[in-house]
A and B are shown apart, each in its own frame.
Chain A
């Protein structure tokens, strides 16, 4: 029983990370038909900005306040980087899918190389307050705090994004644009503004995932973002592009599946199961679980 709860909580922690990485990706993909393959780099921007901030504020033993500032700084850096990428590289190439793939893959590779040059190829130990490495007792069961942090952050982002999509004008433009972008434009709406905002929000969420991922894994390395991107893309496809709810559900399924199968079957089998699930969804329900509904 304790094992199951522990696996469920760590699985949900992983799911939270996937959700944070995938939420921006799915909105950008659904609204603008842009598959941003540099999205993983935004995860790294968050992770390294948080690492630098936490280290300079508190050395190897930052306080909770230091780490909170570091996470906020990482998130803000992700939003900023995403905006710069959108305005300078994606915007001139809307509708040109092939060039977009080239430039975002190129950017991703260049980014990883830059991280390696500055911080080396080896993982960096992520400085964090002691309590994040301990457990909390919930209903008599011990659950790791680093998972709880991720779950709380992802839940907050899920609620925030849902409110944003339902109650703001840009959210309305995004929901409509996922269904029929040409018609949104034909109503006199300049969707490019919405693209930029969605990119920035997605970058912030991914970078938040990167920063909290540092706490979760205890270390960061230059290729982490790209590795996470693979699963994030899987989550987007399973959830249905453009759908935040679908992404949340898909992230949960993928995180739990991976964790349980890796534990009970064999390490690595969980990843295979995720690929199998992805293949099944693509074959049986190519529009994804949510099939076009945004929020």
Chain B
């Protein structure tokens, strides 16, 4: 057993008078994939954005033994946290090659990216805004995977994608997670069951459950209570 890489303790986020997160605590393991689950609007994206310093938070975020809460986002990323945000966020007017070039940190590994997503190698000169949703997601993932990361933080990578693309993205994530720990937000339980070991469930800005993904998805009652959906049998 490897110890945990990221410890989140009592993480709270306010937006004006609104309390978005109420003291969430969980660990992200130093290997494999940890998934954050929860209904729409539960606070999953807010949790990730707070960890990455995009939202001011109170509480503690400890990464590889160092307190990093409210550190500037660019500095956290440079410490080795690759971030793939919700909704892909490609730069539509830049080409695929420019999107990737912008993401280069110390030693970009284009071979790794083009092996995972061969499609991107051919589309370097294409404007990212003209790509399909699936291709845009590949660009978004590629921007993070180009670099050597100590942790990947990925928000709903399969959202709105066709089943074929979901398969491609899931396979890529499974390959990546063999070498880099991943903190994943994902609603597709099929994908979750293929990728995730640890699960963290949030509900209305609070921690609702934490434990083993398999245990959660095998318990139809628990899944329904926590997520409001029937678990698909893996």
Contact = CB atoms under 8 A, between A and B. Distances in A.
A joins B in a complex: yes
Interface of A: 169, 172-173, 175-176, 179-180, 182-191, 292-294
Given A172-B94, A179-B94, A186-B54, 18 more contacts: A172-B98, A172-B102, A173-B102, A176-B94, A179-B91, A179-B93, A180-B91, A185-B74, A186-B52, A186-B73, A186-B83, A186-B85, A187-B77, A188-B74, A188-B105, A188-B147, A189-B102, A191-B74
A189 B74 CA distance: 5
Interface of B: 52, 54, 72-75, 77-78, 83, 85, 89, 91-94, 98-99, 101-103, 105, 143, 147
A187 B93 CA distance: 17
B144 to A, nearest CB: 8
27 contacts: A169-B101, A172-B94, A175-B93, A175-B94, A175-B98, A176-B98, A179-B91, A179-B92, A180-B89, A183-B89, A183-B91, A185-B73, A185-B74, A186-B52, A186-B73, A186-B77, A186-B83, A186-B89, A187-B77, A187-B102, A187-B143, A188-B77, A188-B147, A189-B102, A190-B72, A191-B74, A294-B93
A270 B54 CA distance: 46
Contacts of B92: 179
Nearest to B88: A183
Scoring A169, A187, A293, A294 by chain B CB atoms within 10 A of each residue's CB, the highest score goes to A187
A64 to B, nearest CB: 42
A181 to B, nearest CB: 11
Contact of A176 (B77, B91, B105): B91
B227 to A, nearest CB: 27
Contacts of B93: 175, 179, 292-294
Contacts of A293: 93
A187 B103 contact: yes
A175 B92 CA distance: 11
Contacts of B78: 188
Contacts of A190: 72, 74-75
A176 B75 CA distance: 19
Contacts of A191: 74
Contacts of A292: 93
A292 B129 CA distance: 13
A180 to B, nearest CB: 6
Contacts of A186: 52, 54, 73-74, 77, 83, 85, 89
Contacts of B99: 176
B189 to A, nearest CB: 27
Nearest to B79: A188
Nearest to B129: A179
A185 B102 CA distance: 10
Nearest to A187: B103
A187 B98 CA distance: 13
A184 B54 contact: no
A222 B68 CA distance: 49
Contacts of B147: 188
Given A183-B91, A186-B77, A190-B74, A176 B52 contact: no
A183 B144 CA distance: 12
Contact of A184 (B52, B101, B102): B102
B56 to A, nearest CB: 11
B156 to A, nearest CB: 15
B54 A182 contact: yes
A172 B101 contact: yes
Contacts of B74: 185-191
Contacts of B85: 183, 186
Contacts of A179: 91-94
Contacts of B54: 182, 186
A189 B78 CA distance: 8
A190 B72 CA distance: 9
A293 B89 CA distance: 16
A182 B54 CA distance: 8
Nearest to A188: B77
A239 to B, nearest CB: 16
Top 4 A-B residue pairs of the complex, sorted by shortest distance between their CB atoms: A188-B77, A183-B89, A187-B103, A176-B91
A197 to B, nearest CB: 16
Nearest to B85: A186
